[in-house]
């Protein structure tokens, strides 16, 4: 079997969104699964709508997602250039071939592709003009995902506009021929173009590659396809929000594919092993931001300490307007690290960290009035706090492990004939101003002797 060559062929005319990323990913997965080549080709023939900023966004987003390309811009390859804006001479040459073979002709300044079949004129009511129809059997596409698809083409179509610019159908097919592409994996919105493309292949005397049209991604709520404007559609947004790219990749894999059992969270190496085109669903996939957030949380939880802390630090650094984040960044790195690590199992996403950890980095944290009212209403919490402060102040008190702190608190409770809970709520309130957070012993250990004693003293005053 010949080497698999697949390509992702985005147009840099807009933000890089979930749909583009999934198409890129499925091509990449198929290349990695088969040991083939993954090409990045930039379809930038639309001069008016292209932008260099959108192009860089494609490069950055793909790099962030880990979708490395084997041929394309920046890395080169034997079939370049890989930007269509630099391939004008190749399109001219191919149009010349069609002209020479009698499969293209000029009319009204444009160049048309000629279908071969019995021709007759009809008046088209809709377009209010006479058009030439060509009688041909339907084009049959054996799509690797959709199965057999038939479509009729019955009119010649423009391949070079009167302004000299080649049309999408032409450049797309020419490049797939010239780059020896073996499998075209793309969104289902292109299925309707495929019959034209098959005719073009035939016009060039080339056997068409295999086609695999991926089902659409439906928007989370309501009918219809997810668009770039829908909430949660843009890849850069996840990057900004501190999502883990491997969590997003895992989630994207499941938008239209599954391993054949109900596993969801899977290492990418395992997905590469199992991924195949017949395994892609025919039915549309629905975007689900809760599922994505959950996947991200599962990945966050298992990150090694160093990576988690780096991720947090990068996120905080981007929150330039967020005072809590900036205060945290200014803290001593060892302390910052401890606070982040105690938060790791407690948060759903990195973006919760500044609020979740704010009181660790500020002595002016607010005391929640409702919580205070509740905590102060039961027993004698002030006395409990004084007792705990005294116990912790004892020279032999050990602040270095959660277990040692727990022992101190439990010992105190037992001695007074009370429970651990009698000390916990008021201590938490004094130290953090709230009733949620990490375990009280962890909070005391990480805040450390000085902060804890100062906070209790201030609270009692
Ligand atoms: N430039 C086209 C797009 O962005 C690519 C179509 C294809 O993959 O063949 O939709």
Question: Within the chain, which residue ranges are assigned CATH 3.40.50.620?
Answer: 1-72+215-302, 87-214
Closest CA to 348 of 311, 294, 305, 306: 294
State pLDDT tens for residues 259-299: 999 999 999 999 999 999 999 998 889 999 999 999 999 99
pLDDT digits (tens, 9 = 90+) for 122-169: 999 999 999 999 999 999 999 999 999 999 999 999 999 999 999 999
Known active-site residue 378 = no
Q: Give me the catalytic one of 228, 265, 348, 416.
A: 228
At 91, is the secondary structure helix, strand, or coil?
helix
User: Shortest CA distance to 316 belongs to which of 359, 362, 351, 360?
Assistant: 351
* CATH 1.10.10.350 domain span(s) along the chain: 369-460
Both tokens assigned to 284: 């549309």
> What does the DSSP assignment read for 50-72?
--HHHHHHHHHHHHHHT---SBB
**What is the rounded average pLDDT of the residues 375-380?**
93
For ligand 1, residues with CB inside 6 Å are: 9-11, 43, 172, 184, 186, 190
Q: Which residue has a Cα nearest atom 3 of ligand 1?
A: 10
Residue 85 DSSP label = G
Residue 188 Cα to chain centre, angstroms: 20
Tell me the residue length of the chain: 461
CA-to-CA distance for 225 and 230, rounded, in angstroms? 10
What's the CATH fold of domain 369-460?
Arc Repressor Mutant, subunit A (1.10.10)
Cα–Cα dist 403/406, whole Å: 5
Q: The whole model's pTM is what? A: 0.93
* Region of residue 66 (left: phi > 0; alpha: psi -120 to 50; beta: else): left
| Choice from 17, 50, 55, 172 to test ligand 1 binding pocket (greatest atom count within 8 A of CB) | 172
Name the CATH architecture for the domain at 87-214: 3-Layer(aba) Sandwich (3.40)
Q: What tokens appear for 312 in the block?
A: 């947090």
CB neighbours of residue 421 within 10 Å: 12
Specify the 3-state DSSP secondary structure of 461. coil
Tokens of 217: 């991604």
Confirm or reject CATH 3.40.50.620 for domain 1-72+215-302, answering yes or no.
yes
Give the pLDDT score at 227: 85
Q: What is the pLDDT of residue 232?
A: 87
Question: Are the beta carbons of 207 and 97 closer than 8 angstroms?
Answer: no
pLDDT band for 442, please (50, 70, 90 cuts): very high
Q: For residue 80, which of 8, 175, 6, 156 has the smallest C-alpha distance?
A: 175
């Amino acid at each position: 079997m010949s080497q698999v060559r697949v390509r992702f062929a985005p147009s840099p005319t807009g933000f890089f969104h979930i749909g583009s990323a999934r198409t890129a990913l499925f091509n990449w997965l198929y290349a990695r699964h088969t040991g083939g080549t993954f090409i990045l080709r930039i379809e930038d023939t639309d001069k008016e709508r292209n932008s260099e900023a959108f192009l860089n966004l494609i490069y950055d987003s793909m790099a962030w997602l880990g979708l490395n390309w084997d041929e394309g811009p920046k890395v080169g390859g034997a079939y370049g250039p890989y930007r269509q804006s630099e391939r004008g001479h190749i399109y001219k040459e191919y149009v010349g071939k069609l002209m020479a073979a009698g499969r293209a002709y000029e009319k009204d300044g444009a160049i048309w592709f000629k279908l071969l079949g019995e021709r007759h004129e009809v008046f088209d009511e809709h377009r209010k003009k006479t058009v030439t129809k060509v009688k041909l059997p339907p084009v049959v596409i054996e799509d690797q995902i959709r199965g057999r698809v038939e479509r009729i083409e019955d009119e010649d179509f423009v391949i070079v506009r009167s302004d000299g610019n080649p049309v999408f159908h032409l450049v797309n097919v020419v490049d797939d021929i010239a780059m020896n592409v073996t499998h075209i994996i793309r969104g289902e919105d292109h299925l309707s173009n495929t019959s034209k493309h098959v005719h073009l292949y035939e016009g060039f005397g080339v056997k068409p590659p295999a086609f695999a049209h991926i089902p659409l991604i439906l928007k989370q709520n309501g009918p219809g396809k997810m668009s770039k404007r829908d909430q949660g559609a843009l890849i850069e947004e996840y990057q900004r929000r501190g999502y883990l790219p491997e969590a997003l990749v895992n989630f994207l894999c499941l938008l239209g594919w599954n391993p054949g059992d109900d596993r969801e969270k899977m290492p990418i190496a395992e997905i590469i092993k199992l991924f195949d085109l017949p395994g892609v669903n025919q039915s549309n996939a629905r975007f689900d931001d809760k599922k994505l957030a959950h996947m991200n949380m599962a990945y966050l939880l298992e990150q090694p300490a160093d990576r988690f802390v780096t991720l947090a630090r990068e996120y905080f650094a981007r929150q330039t307007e967020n005072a809590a984040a900036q205060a945290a960044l200014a803290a001593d790195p060892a302390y910052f690290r401890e606070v982040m690590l105690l938060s790791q199992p407690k948060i759903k996403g990195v973006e919760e960290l500044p609020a979740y950890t704010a009181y660790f980095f500020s002595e002016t944290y607010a005391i929640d009035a409702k919580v205070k009212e509740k905590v102060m209403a039961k027993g004698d919490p002030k006395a409990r706090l004084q007792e705990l402060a005294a116990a912790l102040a004892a020279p032999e008190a050990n602040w270095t492990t959660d277990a040692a702190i727990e022992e101190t608190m439990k010992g105190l409770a037992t001695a007074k004939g009370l429970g651990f809970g009698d000390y916990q709520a008021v201590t938490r309130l004094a130290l953090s101003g709230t009733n949620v957070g990490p375990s009280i012993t962890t909070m005391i250990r990480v805040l450390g002797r000085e902060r804890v004693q100062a906070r209790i003293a201030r609270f009692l005053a």
